[in-house]
Copies of this chain bind each other. A is one copy, B any other.
Amino acid sequence: MPQGQVEVTPDDGLTTRQRRNRPLLAVHTGEMKGKSTAAFGMAMRAWNQGWPIAVYQFVKSAKWKVGEENALTALGRLHEQTGEGGRVVWHKMGSGWSWSRRRGSEVDHAADAAEGWAQIKRDLAAEAFGFYVLDEFTYPITWGWVDVDDVVETLVNRPGRQHVVVTGRNAHPTLVEAADLVVEMHKVKHPMDAGQKGQRGIEW
């Protein structure tokens, strides 16, 4: 837990306040679970600040993340009812994005991913949200479905005060280079190593 010590005073022409309030581009990577979980934990802090939150879930998942989705969207409903916290929008790839009418039986993952990224670009340009989770977004980058240079240029030059967290294994070096905060989740020990399978409430 960093206690607010600053190791270096940068020569960037910014005041402490400007520097403090610079919006964050974070990457959660590494081979271990906890990348998305920590991003959704951060979303709880963003919700508490009243910031509108958008999640773009880039890997189709029947049950993984359903707990986080239900809890976070419940917080979003609480906001609608009481004004407490912030708005929450949860977009899912695979069964058709929330904003998209197209729900074909023929799924083109590359096109879906490109469509998701195009929406993120529109939302960032419109400053639609204060906190973005681009969940498992490293994979479409790795697979070439979205262009890493376009991603980094868009994220680095996003307007206003929009915090962005990208999760997923094997984050692209160009993205890591551009990020302000990069955390790697490392496995020390996992119950699946001892033959235990995933369980309800823990893994999803």
Partner among B40, B131, B191, B198 whose Cβ is within 8 Å of the Cβ of A44: B40
Most buried by B among A19, A27, A71: A71
Interface string of A159-185 (1 = CB under 8 A from B): 000010000010000001001111111
Q: State how many copies of this chain the complex holds.
A: 2
Binds B, one of A46-54, A92-100, A107-115, A146-154: A46-54
Q: How far is the CA of A190 from the CA of B169 in the complex (A)?
A: 18
Q: How far is the CA of A176 from the CA of B22 in the complex (A)?
A: 37
Distance from A14 Cβ to chain B, minimum over Cβ atoms (Å): 9
Q: Which residues of the other chain, B, contact A84 by a CB distance below 8 angstroms?
A: 74
* Contact in complex: B198, A2 (CB < 8 Å): yes
Q: Please count how many residues in chain A sit with their CB below 8 Å of the partner chain's CB atoms.
A: 82
Q: Which residues of the other chain, B, contact A5 by a CB distance below 8 angstroms?
A: 192
- With A47-B71, A71-B85, A183-B185 in contact, is A1–B200 under 8 Å at CB? no
Distance from A172 Cβ to chain B, minimum over Cβ atoms (Å): 13
Q: How far is the CA of A183 from the CA of B28 in the complex (A)?
A: 13
* Contact in complex: B20, A197 (CB < 8 Å): yes
Q: How far is the CA of A182 from the CA of B192 in the complex (A)?
A: 12
- With A6-B192, A10-B195, A71-B85 in contact, is A34–B201 under 8 Å at CB? no
Closest to A190 in B: B181
Q: How far is the CA of A28 from the CA of B34 in the complex (A)?
A: 9
The 5 closest A-B pairs by CB, nearest first: A45-B67, A37-B41, A44-B71, A182-B188, A48-B67
